[in-house]
């Protein structure tokens, strides 16, 4: 009996050692904003077990108005962040060595939405108007656009008055602003839902104005790329994430439900999330996560065209790499 118990103990010990040898590698992802369809691919990848299959234990941390992904990763609170390239490049120039390792979003969803009754029909009509703008890094493409138009953002008859817009559409609804910042997948539809029909709006998409910048890329600190094991884990992470995005494109309603299941605030609605996932899929547009370097270079050009006060002052070096996506494709 004693021998049997000893044998069992040895067996259990060996099993425990084997289990720990194959333990999943932990990885923390910090989102740019709250849990919503904008990040459906990551939630789908986790829910469907794609990360588990890749040997990863992924923690997804929601963002919010008081959470800057750049600060989170700088403080060691995340391994990977979802960020817009303007904010990432601005942070890099200030000394935080962020590197783009993958780009799930091919297109920009940013736009400026205006009431038609303000008389705004073209960008030149912005002169003398009041425009709502998001800050915390989201203002960079807007400032570059105004510089390109030759419009001061200090107000006056020959410039524009900028108001710091909260993450809602109230300034337009309440006529505090002539135009506000919106995303194709979110705030634009909030305006519609608030009772202003599309025919009463004039919408300027940044893509159409030649001032679009890359959004929702995946970024890490440079030191992560010095570790071969981390590079391998990141490649697995990107591959599994893009599998999640592909599933979301094929099953948008289910993807929206998965997002809702992960929304601990209860603030999101089914109708809004289903619509958001549908619009987000247009921006991902079948991407495999590979960064289009010409789009990255265009982002740099936009950010450097800010006249006397550009977002970045010099072309960045090493701000994006294909190391991770190249390894992903070889898997």
Q: pLDDT of 187-243, one tens digit each?
A: 999 999 999 999 999 999 999 998 999 999 999 999 999 999 999 999 999 999 999
- pLDDT tens column, 19-78: 444 689 999 999 999 999 999 999 999 999 999 999 999 999 999 988 999 999 999 999
User: Exposure string (b/e) for 282-302, b if CB count within 10 Å is 16 or more?
Assistant: ebbeebbbbbeeebbebbbeb
List C-alpha distances in Å: 256 to 59, 104, 215, 249. 19, 18, 20, 11
Three-state DSSP class for residue 124: helix
> 3-state DSSP: the chain helix, strand, coil percent, rounded to 5?
50, 15, 35
Spatial strand order of the sheet with 110-115 comes to 161-164, 130-133, 179-183, 110-115, 201-205
CATH of domain 110-209: 3.40.190.10
Going by pLDDT thresholds of 50, 70 and 90, the confidence category of residue 144 is confident
Q: How far is CA 40 from CA 64, 144, 284, 299, 305, in A?
A: 16, 30, 11, 25, 33
Assigned CATH class of 21-107+214-330: alpha beta
Give CA separation, 67 vs 27, 55, 108, 137, in Å: 19, 29, 22, 12
Residue 5 has pLDDT above 60, yes or no: no
Find the mean pLDDT for residues 298-317.
84
pLDDT score of 17: 42
CA distance 331 to 112: 41
Q: How far apart are CA 199 and CA 116, in angstroms?
A: 8
Helix (H) or strand (E) run with residue 179 in it: strand 179-183
pLDDT tens for each residue of 253-282: 999 999 999 999 888 999 999 999 999 999
Given a contact cutoff of 8 angstroms between Cβ atoms, the answer to whether 321 and 229 are in contact is no
Q: Which of 260, 289, 284 is nearest to 273 (CA)?
A: 260
Please say if the pLDDT value at position 1 is more than 50: no
CATH topology match: 21-107+214-330 vs 110-209: yes
Q: What is the pLDDT of residue 330?
A: 95
Angstrom distance (rounded) from CA 331 to CA 82: 23
Write the pLDDT tens digit of every residue in 163-187. 999 888 999 999 999 999 999 999 9
- Residues 81-129 pLDDT 10s: 999 999 999 999 999 999 999 999 999 999 999 999 999 999 999 999 9
Cα separation, 87 vs 290, in Å, equals 20
**pLDDT at residue 328 is higher than 90:** yes
DSSP state of 225: G
Identify the band that residue 143 occupies on the pLDDT scale cut at 50, 70 and 90: confident
> What are the extents of the domains in the chain?
21-107+214-330, 110-209
Report pLDDT for 100: 98
Instruction: Return all residues near 102 (Cβ < 8 A) that are at least 6 apart.
Output: 217, 218, 238, 241, 242, 289, 290, 291, 324, 325, 328
Q: Is the pLDDT of residue 4 over 50?
A: no
The helix (run of H) or strand (run of E) holding residue 207 is helix 206-209
pLDDT for position 201: 97
């Amino acid at each position: 009996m004693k021998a049997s118990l000893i044998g069992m103990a040895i067996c259990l010990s060996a099993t425990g050692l084997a289990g720990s040898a194959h333990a999943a590698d932990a990885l923390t992802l910090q989102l740019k904003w709250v849990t919503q369809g904008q990040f459906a691919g990551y939630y789908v990848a986790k829910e469907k077990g794609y990360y588990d299959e890749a040997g990863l234990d992924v923690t997804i941390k929601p963002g919010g108005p008081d959470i800057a992904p750049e600060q989170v990763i700088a403080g060691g609170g995340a391994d990977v962040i979802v960020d817009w390239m303007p904010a990432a490049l601005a942070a890099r120039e200030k000394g935080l060595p962020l590197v783009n390792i993958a780009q799930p979003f091919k297109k920009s969803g940013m736009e400026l939405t205006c009431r038609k009754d303000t008389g705004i029909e073209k960008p030149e009509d912005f002169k003398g108007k009041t425009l709502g703008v998001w800050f915390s890094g989201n203002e960079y493409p807007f400032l570059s656009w105004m510089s390109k138009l030759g419009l001061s953002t200090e107000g006056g008859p020959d410039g524009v008055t900028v108001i710091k817009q909260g993450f809602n559409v109230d300034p337009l609804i309440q006529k505090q602003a002539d135009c506000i910042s919106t995303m194709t997948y979110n705030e634009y539809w909030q305006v519609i839902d608030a009772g202003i029909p599309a025919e009463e709006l004039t919408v300027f998409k940044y893509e159409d104005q030649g001032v679009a910048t890359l959004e929702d890329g995946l970024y890490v600190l440079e030191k992560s790329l010095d570790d071969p094991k981390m590079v391998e884990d990141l490649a697995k992470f990107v591959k599994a994430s893009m599998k999640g995005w592909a599933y979301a494109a094929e099953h948008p309603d289910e993807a929206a439900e998965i997002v809702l299941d992960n929304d601990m605030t209860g603030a999101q609605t089914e109708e809004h999330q289903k619509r958001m996932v549908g619009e987000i899929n247009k921006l991902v547009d079948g991407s495999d996560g590979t960064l289009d370097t010409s789009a990255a270079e265009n982002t740099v050009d936009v950010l450097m065209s800010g006249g006397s006060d550009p977002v970045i002052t010099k072309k960045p070096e090493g701000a994006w790499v294909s190391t991770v996506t190249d390894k992903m494709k070889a898997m």
